[in-house]
Structure 1
Amino acid sequence: KAKWANMAAVKRLYRTASVVSADRIVFNIKGNDYRLVTAVDFEKQIVWIKWVGSHAEYDHIDGKTIAYERSKADSK
């Protein structure tokens, strides 16, 4: 279980991660084929998944503002 105190601690462990805002980090997955956009509350030690998709799909979203949305398949 990670105990990150700040963005610098995340970057030390995940050097390819990108800090896109004060609370948003984008992780590269599977050799940068996929992206994981997260929001982090360091004080509460909580990480929220905001978006997961291919690198190509990531190029069409704004990692700073994207919010998780349930798909129609999720609601069945």
Structure 2
Amino acid sequence: MDALQFVNTHIKFLAIDFLTLKPISHKSTIFSRKGRHLSCTKTMGIVVSRFFKPNRFIKFDIDDSISCIPCIL
């Protein structure tokens, strides 16, 4: 398939899909899942826990009712 077919394509992902993404070794911002490459995602869920370290980072978990996605901002 032509790689350009998937530019700006919206695909529904569950938390389990995010957790199975594999980074492509030579590019730090591109990931692979089932042979498809992606570089930008959006997710929706409920923040179920958070840890805030002032002037450093915030760590939180997003629950989509299937599983939780650990995030660091």
**TM-score w.r.t. length of structure 2:** 0.28
Rg (Cα) greater in structure: 2
User: Quick one: higher RCO (CA 8 Å, sep 6+), 1 or 2?
Assistant: 2
Q: Which has the higher strand share?
A: 2
